[in-house]
Amino acid sequence: MFNIKRFLVKYFNVMYLFIPFIILIVLTGIISTFTIYNHNSQISGIIEAVEIGKNIQIELQKQFYNLKTIVEEDEFSDIYKHKVHDYSYNVQIIQNELFNLGLLCKENKEIYDQIQEFAKYYKELNDGILSYIVNINAQKQFNDTNIISIQMGEEQKAIQLIEDIVKKIDESSDEKLKYLNKYSFVMSTVSFIVLTIFSLIVSLYLSQLLNKFKDKLEQRVIKRTEQLQKAKDQIMLSEQRYKFLVESTNDIVFTMDMDGIVLTINNAVKKELKIKPSEAIGKNFYDFLYFGNDTNNLKNIFLRKNIKNFLNEKKQIKFYSLIKTPRLIEPIEMFVSLEAVEINGNKEIVGKASNMLENDLIGSFIYEHVKYEINNSLLLADEIAHRVVVNLKKFLPNNIISQLRLATSELLINAIEHGNLGITYKDKLTRMEMDDYFDYVSQKINEINNKNKKVKVEFLINDEKFMLKITDQGKGFDHKNYTNKSDASSNESFLQHGRGISLAKSIFDEIKYNEKGNQVLCIKYFNGIHTEENNCLKENSVGESFAR
């Protein structure tokens, strides 16, 4: 890094020689600029004065021509009146131009005096003529022929006087130009000599200085080259380590653009999804997510919107999802995390998908009783549903666990949408048709009456059964009419809660709602026993079952 302070201290003994030359050059430039500017201003004024003088000559000719017409015409004719007006206008212009000419030539006393004398002469001449025009009695006392004679003689005299003034101004302009040319030549010569001497001294000094800098620069280049090579080796090593970390992990690591198009992906996709990385690149990430056979599944739409919102806010999002496997029969459940980053100025998404491996502690599991209280978040509801069934792997096969998780998720979504938020089937259907359902859900969540509402989730797992209790803070619904399957298709409660309850009834062994309809208790027995004696949903046994 160049240090100007150290440079000045080190080379001051030589630099002080340059100071007089620099001062001389600066002063010469200032004086030259000022002088040239001053003379240019004067020359501009002289040129303007010449133009004014010529204008006065023209106006004088017009004035005397108008006077001649006035004398010749009858005083009552229109031409006579018009020419009198023109004559007065000519007089006014000439007087104004004489005043301006005097201002421009004020610094030249000789020319200024001539202008003043001409102005005085012109005033006396003009006063006499105007008295002839205005005073009709005076007109009668003079012979028109005499007026014309006087007019012609005075016209020539006035024009000659103004020509003499213009000539003097031209001569003054020539003198100024000669002086300016001479001065410019002298100053240019002096500046050239000073700059030549200065350039020679500077060149000699810089040649010595550059030789020293050249040696130092060569040493720095050698040192910097060694540093760059070392940095390059470190970058290569870092790339190798990064490649090893990405390719050696069992997790699927990938990048995609903001529209979900996969840009890069590691070799783990070959092991987990049985496809080559080249087959995944260019495909849409969302096409790999599995939501069952229902192509219009709300979870699919909801997940897309949530991912977009989280990434736009530069937040990391994590969720469980079933991933399609083109060459396998069943999808694989994986834990996915996504995060928006900037790479070379472009926004991209870095993602990781981890396989839900068997927990080594599952075999040692005995008992679990957990309570959650969650906000009105559909994404969190899905995550809770995954958490609830984690330890069921010891007692139930995977297909049953998947059904329990789906039923739990649907019941939680019912509790949020239709319970806490009070969204009816008609509202949902209308908003779905308008394609703004999830904006509507966000609006309902932020309403004052719904903002602080929670959903309570309590579940118990032991070696006999799985118990799940979900409670919302809504108004409830008429679950008794729903149980009447004869009119279920026309029952609004069925339309609102039907999917969740139908799934729950098909997988759980027992289901019971409280009187209000805002709490549901579900039980799944592991041994398949489902008798009256073993019924945990009796009023006196529910609390005891959870307590045990």
Query: Any idea what the CATH number is for the domain that residue 284 is in?
Result: 3.30.450.20
Q: Do residue 289 and residue 344 come from a single domain?
A: yes
Q: Do residue 373 and residue 335 come from a single domain?
A: no
Closest CA to 251 of 265, 263, 267, 268: 268
Residue 298 lies in a domain: yes
Question: Residue 538 is part of which domain span?
Answer: 363-547
Residue 108 dihedral angles phi and psi, to the nearest 5°: -95, 105
Q: Do residue 347 and residue 404 come from a single domain?
A: no
Whole-number Å distance between alpha carbons of 470 and 136: 122
Q: Do residue 194 and residue 88 come from a single domain?
A: yes
Residue 294 lies in a domain: yes
Q: Do residue 301 and residue 263 come from a single domain?
A: yes
Q: Among the three residues 157, 190, 215, which one is the final residue of a domain in this structure?
A: 215
Whole-number Å distance between alpha carbons of 276 and 153: 114
Q: Which amino acid is at 527?
A: N
Q: Which long-range contacts (CB under 8 A, 24 or more apart) does 405-411 make?
A: 406/503, 407/500, 407/503, 407/504, 407/506, 407/507, 407/508, 407/522, 408/384, 408/468, 409/381, 409/382, 409/385, 410/499, 410/500, 410/503, 410/504, 411/468, 411/470, 411/500, 411/501, 411/504, 411/520, 411/522
pLDDT in tens, the chain (548 residues): 555 555 555 555 555 556 666 676 677 767 767 666 666 676 777 777 778 877 877 877 777 777 777 777 776 777 877 877 887 788 788 878 878 877 877 777 787 887 888 788 877 777 777 776 666 444 444 445 455 455 556 667 777 777 777 777 777 777 767 776 777 677 777 777 777 777 777 777 777 777 777 788 888 888 888 888 888 888 887 677 667 667 778 888 888 888 889 988 888 888 888 888 888 899 888 888 877 654 445 666 777 777 777 777 777 888 777 788 776 667 777 888 888 888 777 888 888 888 765 566 777 888 999 999 999 888 788 889 888 998 898 899 888 988 898 899 889 989 999 999 998 888 888 888 887 888 888 889 889 988 899 999 999 999 999 999 999 999 888 777 665 544 444 445 444 446 678 888 889 999 999 989 899 999 999 986 554 444 544 544 455 555 55
Residue 127 lies in a domain: yes
Tally of domains within the chain:
3
Cα separations (Å) of 117 from 61, 161, 223?
19, 10, 86
Alpha helix stretches (DSSP H) within 296-354: 298-312
Q: Among the three residues 324, 339, 355, which one is the final residue of a domain in this structure?
A: 355
Q: Do residue 382 and residue 332 come from a single domain?
A: no
Closest CA to 419 of 491, 516, 298, 301: 516
Residue 236 lies in a domain: no
Whole-number Å distance between alpha carbons of 222 and 217: 9
Q: Where are the beta strands (DSSP E) in 207-328?
A: 252-256, 262-265, 289-290, 317-323
Residue 1 lies in a domain: no
Whole-number Å distance between alpha carbons of 186 and 251: 85
Q: Which long-range contacts (CB under 8 A, 24 or more apart) does 540-545 make?
A: 542/512, 545/460, 545/465, 545/467
Cα separations (Å) of 286 from 258, 276, 392?
12, 18, 29
Q: Do residue 340 and residue 369 come from a single domain?
A: no
Residue 227 lies in a domain: no
Q: Do residue 344 and residue 489 come from a single domain?
A: no
Q: Do residue 369 and residue 332 come from a single domain?
A: no
If you ran DSSP here, which 8-state letter would residue 508 be given? -
Give the gyration radius of the chain's Cα atoms: 52
Cβ-contact 322, 290 below 8 angstroms: yes
Whole-number Å distance between alpha carbons of 299 and 546: 31
Q: Do residue 314 and residue 368 come from a single domain?
A: no
Q: Do residue 180 and residue 287 come from a single domain?
A: no
The CATH number given to whatever domain includes residue 461 is 3.30.565.10
Show Cβ contacts of residue 132 under 8 Å, excluding neighbours closer than 6 positions.
138, 139, 142, 147
Closest CA to 456 of 410, 402, 416, 399: 416
